Amino acid sequence: MANAMHTKTELSELGEFGLIRHLTQNIVLKNESTLTGVGDDCAVLDFKNKKIVVTTDLLTEGVHFNLMYVPLKHLGYKAVTVNLSDVYAMNATPRQITVSIAVSAKMSVEAITELYSGIYLACERYGVDLIGGDTTSSLTGLLISVTAIGEADEEDLVYRNGAKDTDLLCVTGDLGGAYMGLQLLERENEVFKVNPKMAPQFAGYDYILERQLKPEARKDIPPLFKELGIKPTSMIDISDGLSSEILHLCTQSEVGCRLYEDRLLYDNQTKKMATELNINPLVAALNGGEDYELLFTLPVTDNEKIRNHPDISVIGYITDKSEGVNLITAGVGQAIPLQAQGWNPLKD
């Protein structure tokens, strides 16, 4: 399961500037707003009359990823897409990223090149330019810091604080898959540690593995909103789990919410893996995180415009703040206060 790297060039053979040249020499800038990219003290951008959005994420080895089972190319891809997801969550279009990495001196040039191949693949697929970064060493594991910059017309921007009483609570795609993919990877990694000759049992789980290892950001959603003639009153991406994100929206909008258990969508692989591991898929959706779907609210009058749309589920509605933030269970319809139990890197 480990990343097989057959050739190995020592980092010290290239040095910092040699490595930067090696990693950035083939960049072709795609966006009009990128005036100059890598190679000066700063990159230079021009967004004319657009508003600019900025977001940043830091991924550390052993905390956010395990190189025992995460291929470096996928890791590079994911480090980019999780940031772009935040840009789409503003209803904006990503244009540029900076990527800084700290690597152990033991890491080979080929391994770093593999990581960057994933970064460039994401740049290609999402139409963003890599415009800068920093490359240094760390005494221990790998660390990746990505900052994404995007643009939007002011009237299109969607914040977290605009949800109103009676708004529909909506989500794109299905939930819990990334978490179940992680459980599968961890199970097989444990098996591997005990018996390295045992082949991992991944058949039939390609979707949830991809959700975990190589998640996509919902690039399609902002244009879909335009096409459907709707604009969310609030929006956030699901990185820490549905509970945590709903609580963010409700806190910042000063509203309450009713979330219906029976409205949550799961992929069949998510359900199958959940059964196999004896985990309730609801827990994966609420607290698992990393689904990178978009959670948003819409005026109830927009209901017709999204009804039966395959990419959007209505999973609840916004209430007055005094009613609290509740999960309404399937069947008996009991109201249970939602609690943020999403992934907390400082509590682990």
Residues 236-295 interacting with a second copy (rule: CB under 8 A): 236-237, 252
Question: Could you tell me the two tokens for 252?
Answer: 């910042």
Residues 67-106 interacting with a second copy (rule: CB under 8 A): 86-87, 89-90, 92, 96, 98, 100-103, 105
Question: Could you tell me the two tokens for 158?
Answer: 């969607």
Binding string, residues 21-40; x marks residues near a second copy by CB under 8 A: --------------xx--xx
Cβ closest to a second copy, residue 54 vs residue 198: 54
Cβ closest to a second copy, residue 17 vs residue 190: 17
Question: Could you tell me the two tokens for 256?
Answer: 């309450």
Residues 158-197 interacting with a second copy (rule: CB under 8 A): 159-161
In the complex, least distance from residue 150 CB atom to a second copy, rounded to whole angstroms: 7
In the complex, least distance from residue 253 CB atom to a second copy, rounded to whole angstroms: 12
Residues 120-149 interacting with a second copy (rule: CB under 8 A): 131-141, 143, 145, 147-149
In the complex, least distance from residue 173 CB atom to a second copy, rounded to whole angstroms: 17
What is the dihedral sign for C-alpha 181, 183, 187, 192? positive
Residues 50-69 interacting with a second copy (rule: CB under 8 A): 51-64
Buried b (16+ CB within 10 A) or exposed e, 171-188: bbbbbbbbbbbbbbbeeb
HSE (side-chain half, CA atoms, 13 Å) at 184? 29
Cβ closest to a second copy, residue 37 vs residue 281: 37
In the complex, least distance from residue 243 CB atom to a second copy, rounded to whole angstroms: 12
In the complex, least distance from residue 296 CB atom to a second copy, rounded to whole angstroms: 11
Other C-beta atoms closer than 10 Å to the C-beta of 285 total 30
Residues 6+ apart with CB under 8 A from 176: 266, 270, 274, 281, 282, 284, 285, 288, 291
In the complex, least distance from residue 160 CB atom to a second copy, rounded to whole angstroms: 5
> Is residue 346 a contact residue for a second copy (CB under 8 A)?
yes
Helix (H) or strand (E) holding 114: helix 109-126
Contact status, residue 238 vs residue 292, Cβ threshold 8 Å:
yes
Distance CA 77, CA 84 (A): 11
Residues 286-305 interacting with a second copy (rule: CB under 8 A): none
